[in-house]
Amino acid sequence: MKPHALILLLLSACGGAEALDASAVVEQDSNAANFVLSVRHTPAVMPLNAEFEVRFQLLDMEGRALDVEVEDVSVDADMPEHGHGMTVFPSVRREGSEYVAGPMLFHMSGRWEVYVDVRRGAVTERAQVAWTLD
Ligand SMILES: [Cu+2]
């Protein structure tokens, strides 16, 4: 992880991510409440052991598109209870007003947290959502 600021912002996260209905449109405040992660499309069933992509928008607190370059957005996922991440390294691309991250690969059942990090200047701030695969 890069700058000091990220560590401080992570510490301010209270409660962590909530489990989601994978088919729902989900909006989640970032950990310091400076932007909103809006997941616009996910697979109807989160696939186990198959690659997929995550589509999302980044909004400011008034609901406008966040002014951030795709190079400053990164996505990763972990299983916190197991202490490991994915076996793939997703990249992020822009499609119109959406960002698309892939490949994502959940290679085990259980609870996964997906992290979207947005770098603005010297500060990296995280938003996170979670999915549980049966
Ligand atoms: Cu695991």
- Listed residues: CB within 5 A of ion ligand 1: 79, 82, 108
CA of 67 to the centre of ligand 1 (A): 35
The residue range of the domain holding 71 is: 4-133
Number of compact structural domains in the chain: 1
10 has pLDDT over 50: no
CA of 103 to the centre of ligand 1 (A): 18
pLDDT classification of 40: cutoffs 50, 70, 90: confident
* pLDDT for the residue 47: 86
CA of 64 to the centre of ligand 1 (A): 36
Residues 6+ positions from 132 with CB-CB distance below 8 Å: 19, 110, 111, 112
Give the CATH number, domain containing residue 107. 2.60.40.1220
16 has pLDDT over 70: no
- Angstrom distance (rounded) from CA 27 to CA 33: 12
Higher pLDDT, 110 or 20: 110
pLDDT classification of 46: cutoffs 50, 70, 90: confident
Q: Which two tokens stand for residue 37?
A: 């992660």
Question: Comparing C-alpha atoms, which of 76, 113, 69 is closest to residue 91?
Answer: 76
